[in-house]
Amino acid sequence: MAVKAGVSGATVSRVFNRPESVSPSTREKVLKAAKDLDYHPNVIATNFIKGISGNIGVIIPRIKNIHMLSVYYFAELLGGIGDALSRRGYNLVLLYHDITAPVMPGNDYTKYFKGNKVDGGILLGTFANEPSLVKLKEEGYRFCLINNYIENSGISYADADNLKGSYKAVKYLINLGHEKIAFLNGPMYYTNSIDRLKGYKRAMEEHGIPFNRELLFEGNYGRKSGYTAARKILSAKSPPSAIFVSNDRMAAGLLQGLLESGVKVPGDISIVGYDDSDVATVVTPQLTTVHVSFYEIGYRCADELVKCIKGEKDYFGISVQPKIVIRKSCSRPR
């Protein structure tokens, strides 16, 4: 290539990296030769010289090949991450992290970073206060969390404001006139679930409604757990007039369970879901739910992570605001 263009290798390098540092005439000469030869700088050699891999790893936990993440926001999230990374010249590489049970103390994430495999990592689906995350941070690796955070750990994160989202949803029900509001939450090993419970409690408290332990239920974010919750909820001492559910899939299952029991939704019981996934619009009645832009979370997270890697900053905490989407699953109580 350098010989074809009649210049030194250094000049070729300059044309592609700091074009302004080379005279217009030779610049054109080089570009023409590059076009003729279909020459493109070898990315591997470039990265090798720079001492980087050019890869950002997105680490995804799985149990026996089963995703623990809602697939619905997975695609959107990756889209955001991918756009941010490609704009900054990094590759988005997917790494699947196999675990055997929901809460594993000894997760070793370091293996993905050793030997310059990736320049940084985005960890999805990690658990509340997971010790391996703190360890990873201490070892000096560049990474951040999505959908989780650990206070005072210095670990960067991007998350939806789950407390606020939950708060808004419950407040919406309260404003409709509901007082007996049940909450079907997800597993408490997720920070998400913890925060949503806080939001639920805060909304109730602010309106002078005492927290009733009997109206709190826990599912596993799957449809079936919503379905089976229906029976439990209906057999409570004083059944609720509204139920806030921590994701749409469970809400859909719950809805099926309620309809089977002859309960009218929203006539007898109102439901608010969470996620605004496909499921929300497909169900009858369509679900009032809480929407979060996972594209935004992904994009901003990846963008900030790259800044950290480049040394422009060394910490970020992003909190994206959810919005309530009103559809057909709520009404005033009788």
Partner DNA sequence: CCTGGTTATGAACACGTGTACATTTTACCT
Partner DNA sequence: AGGTAAAATGTACACGTGTTCATAACCAGG
- Alpha helix stretches (DSSP H) within 96-161: 131-138
37 binds DNA (CB under 7 A): no
How many residues of this chain bind a second copy (CB under 8 A)? 51
The least distance separating DNA from the CB of residue 22, rounded to whole angstroms, comes to 4
Collapsing DSSP to helix, strand or coil, 59 comes out as strand
Fill in the per-residue mask, 48 to 87: x = in contact with DNA (CB under 7 A), - = not in contact: xxxx------------------------------------
16 binds DNA (CB under 7 A): yes
6: alpha, beta or left? (left if phi > 0; alpha if psi -120 to 50): left
Nearer Cβ to DNA (11/107)? 11
> Pick from DNA, a second copy, none: which does 256 bind, CB < 5 to 8 A by kind?
a second copy
How many residues of this chain bind DNA (CB under 7 A)? 26
Spatial CB neighbours of 73, under 8 Å, sequence gap ≥ 6: 275, 277, 292, 294
> Pick from DNA, a second copy, none: which does 91 bind, CB < 5 to 8 A by kind?
a second copy
Distances (CA, A) of 69 to 45, 118, 149: 36, 22, 16
- Alpha helix stretches (DSSP H) within the chain: 2-5, 9-17, 24-37, 43-50, 71-87, 131-138, 162-176, 191-206, 223-234, 248-260, 278-282, 294-309
Cross-strand partners of 96: 60
The least distance separating DNA from the CB of residue 81, rounded to whole angstroms, comes to 25
The least distance separating a second copy from the CB of residue 174, rounded to whole angstroms, comes to 27
Nearer Cβ to DNA (21/261)? 21
Choices 111-119, 211-219, 235-243, 262-270 (CB under 8 A): range interacting with a second copy = 111-119
DSSP 147: S
Quote the CA–CA distance of 179 and 313 in Å, as a whole number: 46
Q: Which amino acid is at 237?
A: K
Backbone angles phi, psi at 240, to 5 degrees: -75, 165
Q: How far is CA 169 from the centre of its chain?
A: 20
311: alpha, beta or left? (left if phi > 0; alpha if psi -120 to 50): left
Q: Which of 2, 31, 76, 161 binds a second copy (CB under 8 A)?
A: 76
117 binds a second copy (CB under 8 A): yes
Quote the CA–CA distance of 279 and 305 in Å, as a whole number: 32
Fill in the per-residue mask, 197 to 236: x = in contact with a second copy (CB under 8 A), - = not in contact: --------------------------x-------------
Kindly list the residues in this chain that would bind a second copy in the complex (CB under 8 A).
38, 40-45, 47-48, 51-53, 55, 62, 65, 67, 69, 71-72, 74-76, 78-79, 82-83, 86, 91-96, 114-117, 223, 249, 252-253, 256, 259, 277-279, 281-284, 295
Kindly list the residues in this chain that would bind DNA in the complex (CB under 7 A).
1, 6-14, 16-17, 21-23, 25-27, 41-42, 45-46, 48-51
